[in-house]
A and B are shown apart, each in its own frame.
Chain A
Amino acid sequence: METRIIVVTSGKGGVGKTTVTANLSARLAMEGFKVVAIDADIGLRNLDVVMGLENRIVFNMIDVIEGACKLPQALVRDKRVENLYLLPAAQTRTKDAVTSDQMKELCDSLRGEFDFVLVDSPAGIESGFRNAAAGADEALVVATPEVSSVRDADRIIGLLESFGKTSINLIVNRVRPEMVRSGKMLGVSDVMEILAIDLIGIVPEDDSVVVSTNKGEPLAMTNVSPASRAFEKIAGRIMGKDIPLQDIDDLEEKGFLVNFRKLFGRRGGRS
């Protein structure tokens, strides 16, 4: 298949770009695709930690760009999932160490070698984001149901459109169904109404994300939880499968209380 290069971005920091990148990369690799996750957050690298590959980094993306090593030397292969690779960022450099043209050239050099290239963008709208987006064909915009996150996502979508990106999809992350139902949190439909782009998935707030991040084991590899199920479905939709979007209630853990509530007909909206 033709290589698909996808930038994962958001504008606002802390909304889950790195978690989404790590989990979708792992999930796609588990589906049999050859995947590389690129950490484009130069100077503040985290993707290696979330993927549990920090101990095996020798070279990084800047070394490749500056010619200090060949691209295959800098790629870190994940031993747990076949076909999953990481191209780490440099921690001791800044975002000015790379230009948009160099990033584009780097991404182009991965075409033909991989099925999917997922680029984890830094927060913000400055050069780091622009470089991360430069080489990508598609974008996944991650937003949480908070007013500030939605506003930043709106800004990012506007910039991506101005860069000529036409395939932009939305992931609404860290949704808390109970808070949505009680009107204390924006609903997915509220976010969609403002951002007006295609929704590719909803990820519920899930404590196991924190545990997996700290352990360096993406949820998609080991765990069956609401978030890991959501990532599995999003990966499926990226692959082109027709998977219906979840009902808000289905995002929660199944259990006595959920079943009890459903028995008495209290349902959340479909998103």
Chain B
Amino acid sequence: MAIKGGKEDLELRGEGGHVRLIIPQRLRGKDLRLESRGFLEKASGILKDASVVVDLKGSGWDRGDILSVVESILLPVGASVLSWSPEEEDVRSWMKREGFALYLSGTEEKARMQPRPLVESLVIDESLRSGRKIDHDGDIMILGNVNEGAEVFAGRSVVVVGRLRGLAHAGLTGPEEAFIVSGQFEASQVRIGDRISYMDEHCAWWGKTVSMKVVGGSIVVREIVL
């Protein structure tokens, strides 16, 4: 099913379980607000409460343009965005950086759904002094401290039994399930996937036993009470 005008018009397509909204480049900004009224008269029945993949054609889309799409088309009919599909790579990059859910191509989706190969966990039976760097595709467990100036990069999760003062970066190959656990958390920065969080001694969980993971695009810290 498709509701469409000319080549440069707003377009709506049904696509297995969700609706795809295609927005041409010429409608970036104010033009979208003007054109959306007529479009919604025809399409509101389909878009109402629907899950939508939004195609952003052409280049140069910025935060203001995204806001226009939400305000002019999606909010009035209560549609929710399943994912965004920007055509231009630069737009895709900044949206990814900002934490937008991006539409994956068939190949990417297939790769994502593939069970990830089993990688052995790496267990380090000592503290890491300043200057040490540990890099491993799977989980990393440090049976000691990670001192300031030491770095741990894990494809999956990082567990530091002792004090974490250095840099821990978990989820390099799969941020969804990755977490960081520290017996005594005193690090000024942690990273999970492409998320970075900065902290200092004023944080409520400073010096405590904590776990950290990405929830809703942000790193969420929880104190572990044993």
Contact = CB atoms under 8 A, between A and B. Distances in A.
Contacts of B129: 154-155, 157-158, 161
B149 A151 contact: yes
Interface residues of B, number: 8
A159 interface: yes
B132 A151 contact: no
B84 to A, nearest CB: 43
B130 A155 contact: yes
Nearest to B126: A161
B148 interface: yes
Interface string B127-142: 1011110000000000
B147 interface: yes
Contacts of A157: 129
A196 interface: yes
B145 to A, nearest CB: 8
Contacts of B132: 158
A154 B149 CA distance: 9
Contacts of A125: 131
A152 interface: yes
Interface string A11-54: 00000000000000000000000000000000000000000000
Interface string A115-151: 0000000000100000000000000000000010001
A196 B129 CA distance: 10
A58 interface: no
Contacts of A155: 129-131, 149
Contact of A196 (B127, B130, B148): B127
A151 B148 CA distance: 7
Interface in A151-176: 151-152, 154-155, 157-159, 161
Interface of A: 125, 147, 151-152, 154-155, 157-159, 161, 194, 196
Instruction: Please list the 3 inter-chain residue pairs (A to B) with the smallest Cβ-Cβ separation, ordered nearest first.
Output: A158-B129, A155-B130, A154-B130
Interface of B: 127, 129-132, 147-149
6 contacts: A125-B131, A154-B129, A157-B129, A158-B132, A159-B131, A194-B147
